[in-house]
Chains A and B, each alone.
Chain A
């Protein structure tokens, strides 16, 4: 059991971050803190993707020296395919197989590219969220959930008359 967990040590901080973020989103009544939790939650997913791309013994995926289109292509492909399996704990095998194919093992660059996109999405979400909080503060004069609910409730009962 312990061995299984230690083999997947990279997931431990991810899970902790993820749960912390989600807990903050649910538990806090402050709108800005809730966005902080949301960002934390998203960041943990970035880490999940980035650890996915790691190949043990892998180099940065930059081709140096002579470029032989076909060979390098195979190498990258093999690294990409096996890099994914790394998550399941077959890293050594993957590195070996990749070495056979192209002598040099490369880390899988694809997850990094995906995460660049996801970071942009996260930043945009955070920006829109903060802009909304600013507007909420202008309209209500508070950013505490309870006070907002109370204000809306009085609005509802007030206008129902």
Chain B
């Protein structure tokens, strides 16, 4: 950790929390000016590397020196805008930084295939804006700033999802629906923040918590809680509010899906945790009620219903998108337990799910890149024609089911342990049933890939083996490898998740 903390010269390290947001924002403008897509990609790659290094450095700083509070523009909090990094948002910064970097490496061949040449620079620019927005939501300590960054990331997300229109025009309607629902969600969130401001007279998250603790909770803060949960729930694709997600993931460019599936909903979920645990206290009566009767119940329903929906999908990416909704259900169940163990299991699953879904969507992107396939039955025989990508896909999908030797098993294990600790046998049963359902939909994909013979080509011959470009293969294999590696070396991720839970729960 000391090594990470001294990764950058002190002059830069002091300003790391601001730089991690500012660099992608400025570079977005630079990328937009690039005459050709490959230069814009170069700018994006340089930015992603810088962000990954900064996030590692911030991890080092927080682990050695405790909470970082950065006063933006020299205005001290609570009056000024504060960037605040503690153990809860460091894992998210790392996740966005490192998975973002891997996705950017993957982007070059994928984007060259899917986006028209003259739009590529603008595409990368929009991506960088989204990247900056997600990092901003994660790092800011100001409630209204969360809204602003959430919308910065969302608006750019709408545009990059719509860029999938080159391959399938349904990307446009998917993006439009996401825009309408996302804006309603953001507006609900900002209403909630307004109520909180009425009740507390401050926008700083830490200050709000202090004032609320002193003044107690009244009807206004209850309304604020409801609005914020619904608003962020929409962004995080919490079960009944997830309708925008399957189509958006299914028709966006492959690179966008891989990036969003592993970061965007995670960041919104983090914001939810931040508000529920840090601003409203989990011991307050109505918050505690919402854990059991809202988050846990809705989480369990999501695990069941979305998994069943996933089993019946014909589009491979839509299938995995429904699976994402189910996985958000697992995280909500962990949150709903309201214990440090439950929250840390939830955080662990959040990180692990990013590893799985990143690899899965990248592999689907590799299939689409070489053979242009996107439906489940078109995956037939890919195990023979694209063995490396299929292997990565297989590892990640087994991890999704929760097979031992993969990280999926680790996080489900922690979830089950936390549920038993709480005495929630029904939650354990739900986890088991949902895992079986996951097995059902994953089996559909895997049996198509490995069991069936590839469709005959023009001359009646099976298509030859094809290797995805190394820029696709390398990040995908790395993520798939991480799915196995972190089973055997679970300590770093589990440690991060525990520290995150302790940071907001205050226990051990």
Question: Could you list which residues of chain A lie within 8 angstroms of chain B, going by C-beta atoms?
Answer: 22, 25, 31, 34-35, 38, 41-42, 45, 48-49, 52, 80-85, 87-88, 110-111, 114, 117-118, 121, 124-125, 128-129, 132-133, 135-136, 139-140, 148, 152, 155, 160
Whether A139 contacts B169 in the complex (CB less than 8 A), given A52-B194, A132-B162, A132-B179, comes out as yes
- The complex places the Cα of A25 from the Cα of B179 at a distance, in Å, of 12
The residue from A48, A83, A117, A133 contacting B176, defined by CB atoms under 8 A apart:
A133
A-chain residues with CB within 8 Å of residue B184 when the two chains form the complex: 22, 25, 38, 41
Distance of A161 from chain B, by nearest CB (Å): 12
Distance of B137 from chain A, by nearest CB (Å): 14
Is A139 touching B172 in the complex (CB atoms < 8 A)?
yes
Is B191 touching A25 in the complex (CB atoms < 8 A)?
no
A-chain residues with CB within 8 Å of residue B155 when the two chains form the complex: 121, 124-125, 128
- The complex places the Cα of A152 from the Cα of B318 at a distance, in Å, of 15
Is A41 touching B198 in the complex (CB atoms < 8 A)?
no
- The complex places the Cα of A34 from the Cα of B175 at a distance, in Å, of 14
- The complex places the Cα of A52 from the Cα of B190 at a distance, in Å, of 13
Is A121 touching B173 in the complex (CB atoms < 8 A)?
no
Is B220 touching A128 in the complex (CB atoms < 8 A)?
no
Q: Is B148's CB within 8 Å of the partner chain A?
A: yes
Question: Could you list which residues of chain B lie within 8 angstroms of chain A, going by C-beta atoms?
Answer: 144, 147-148, 151, 155, 158-159, 162, 165, 169-170, 172-173, 175-176, 179-180, 183-184, 186-187, 190-191, 194, 197-201, 203, 220, 314
A-B contacts besides A41-B184, A45-B191, A88-B220, 10 pairs, CB < 8 Å: A82-B201, A84-B197, A121-B148, A121-B151, A125-B183, A128-B158, A132-B162, A132-B179, A139-B172, A148-B173
Is B201 touching A81 in the complex (CB atoms < 8 A)?
yes
Interface of chain B, helix or strand or loop or mixed?
helix
A-chain residues with CB within 8 Å of residue B220 when the two chains form the complex: 87-88
Distance of A65 from chain B, by nearest CB (Å): 24
Residue of A with least CB distance to B314: A160
- The complex places the Cα of A25 from the Cα of B176 at a distance, in Å, of 12
Is A42 touching B183 in the complex (CB atoms < 8 A)?
yes
- The complex places the Cα of A42 from the Cα of B151 at a distance, in Å, of 13
- The complex places the Cα of A42 from the Cα of B189 at a distance, in Å, of 11
Distance of A73 from chain B, by nearest CB (Å): 10
Residue of A with least CB distance to B154: A125
Distance of B377 from chain A, by nearest CB (Å): 10
Residue of A with least CB distance to B148: A117
Residue of A with least CB distance to B181: A25
- The complex places the Cα of A137 from the Cα of B144 at a distance, in Å, of 35
Residue of B with least CB distance to A52: B198
A-chain residues with CB within 8 Å of residue B314 when the two chains form the complex: 160
The residue from B191, B199, B200 contacting A48, defined by CB atoms under 8 A apart:
B191
Distance of A157 from chain B, by nearest CB (Å): 11
The residue from A132, A155, A160 contacting B175, defined by CB atoms under 8 A apart:
A132
Is A152 touching B170 in the complex (CB atoms < 8 A)?
yes
Whether A38 contacts B180 in the complex (CB less than 8 A), given A45-B187, A114-B144, A128-B159, comes out as yes
Is B180 touching A34 in the complex (CB atoms < 8 A)?
yes
Whether A41 contacts B144 in the complex (CB less than 8 A), given A31-B176, A129-B179, comes out as no
B-chain residues with CB within 8 Å of residue A34 when the two chains form the complex: 180
- The complex places the Cα of A48 from the Cα of B147 at a distance, in Å, of 16
Is B179 touching A136 in the complex (CB atoms < 8 A)?
no
Whether A132 contacts B170 in the complex (CB less than 8 A), given A42-B183, A125-B151, comes out as no
- The complex places the Cα of A129 from the Cα of B220 at a distance, in Å, of 32
Residue of B with least CB distance to A149: B173
- The complex places the Cα of A94 from the Cα of B380 at a distance, in Å, of 71
- The complex places the Cα of A10 from the Cα of B180 at a distance, in Å, of 27
Is B201 touching A80 in the complex (CB atoms < 8 A)?
yes
B-chain residues with CB within 8 Å of residue A31 when the two chains form the complex: 176
Distance of B243 from chain A, by nearest CB (Å): 13
The residue from B169, B187, B194 contacting A140, defined by CB atoms under 8 A apart:
B169
Is B194 touching A45 in the complex (CB atoms < 8 A)?
yes
Distance of B199 from chain A, by nearest CB (Å): 7
Is B201 touching A84 in the complex (CB atoms < 8 A)?
yes
Is A135 touching B198 in the complex (CB atoms < 8 A)?
no
Distance of B183 from chain A, by nearest CB (Å): 5
B-chain residues with CB within 8 Å of residue A52 when the two chains form the complex: 194, 197-198
Can you give 28 contacting A-B residue pairs, CB < 8 Å? Answer: A22-B184, A31-B176, A35-B180, A38-B183, A41-B187, A42-B183, A42-B187, A80-B201, A83-B201, A84-B198, A84-B199, A84-B201, A85-B201, A87-B220, A88-B220, A114-B144, A114-B203, A118-B190, A121-B148, A121-B155, A121-B186, A125-B155, A125-B183, A128-B155, A128-B158, A128-B159, A133-B176, A148-B173
